[in-house]
Amino acid sequence: MLKKIALASALSLAVLSNAALCEEVKAEAAKAQSSASKISVAVVNIRLIMSELPQAKEATIALQKEFGPRSEELRKIQEEGQKLEKELQTAKGERVTEINRKLAQMKADFELKSQALQEDSQKKEREIEVKLGRLVQTAIDRIAKERGIDLVVRGETVVFATPAVDISEDVIARASKLKSSKEVNKK
């Protein structure tokens, strides 16, 4: 009989502790759900931001000023080559050899200058992208901190978002005001 009482007591204790454990798990789940419902999410459209940012527009103009003359020089070489190719069709004798040599020289010159221009402009574009990326990231960080936003995602990868969570225009406005690297580093 003592064994039956001990067994019944152990069973009761196990049931009670299991019930308490279930209640604890339910409380933790409710707490997690409550905190999950408080998470604030925002969306940014980086393409829009980069196209509308005044600094990006200024950088595009600066790139055109810096590399425009070299592009123009390449265009002139190309036009001159086309004229020589037309002339080659009607040329005779030593003039054919002369034109072919000139065309070969122009082609080599064009390729060299074209490659240099491409490398220089790509390097400069990357530098500008990094600088603008820092400005945009600083603006996003500051807006998220001020508004208590927990998560900011790129709008290009989001399937659906309401306009209320899109902070792209706010990022443009904030980043537009940031001019120097000192302001970016102040976070």
88, 106 Cβ separation under 8 angstroms: no
Say which residue, 8 or 112, is predicted with more confidence. 112
CA-based nearest residue to 153, from 140, 135, 134:
140
For 38, half-sphere exposure in the C-beta direction (CA atoms, 13 angstrom radius) is 7
The whole-angstrom distance between residue 101's C-alpha and the CA centroid of its chain comes to 47
Percentage of the chain exceeding pLDDT 90: 58
Residue 115 has pLDDT above 80, yes or no: yes
The confidence score (pLDDT) of residue 34 equals 52
SS3 at position 161: coil
Residue 21 has pLDDT above 80, yes or no: no
When mean pLDDT is compared over 22-26, 99-103, 140-144, the highest value belongs to 140-144
Distance CA(104)–CA(92), nearest Å, equals 18
The confidence score (pLDDT) of residue 163 equals 87
Average pLDDT taken over every residue of the chain: 83
Distance CA(127)–CA(153), nearest Å, equals 24
Residue 18 has pLDDT above 90, yes or no: no
For 130-186, how does the pLDDT look when each residue is reduced to its tens digit (9 = 90+)? 999 999 999 999 999 999 999 999 988 888 888 888 999 999 999 999 875 445 445
SS3 at position 164: helix
User: CA 45, 48, 50, 55 torsion: positive or negative?
Assistant: negative
How many angstroms separate the Cα of 39 from the Cα of each of 35, 90, 153, 170? 7, 76, 13, 20
77, 113 Cβ separation under 8 angstroms: yes
The confidence score (pLDDT) of residue 88 equals 83
The structural domains of the chain, with segments of one domain joined by +, span 1-37, 39-185
CATH placement of domain 39-185: 3.30.910.20
Residue 126 has pLDDT above 80, yes or no: yes
81, 103 Cβ separation under 8 angstroms: yes
Mean pLDDT, range 62-77, rounded to an integer: 94
Burial of 139 (0-12, 13-18, 19+ CB in 10 A): buried
The confidence score (pLDDT) of residue 92 equals 86
The confidence score (pLDDT) of residue 187 equals 47
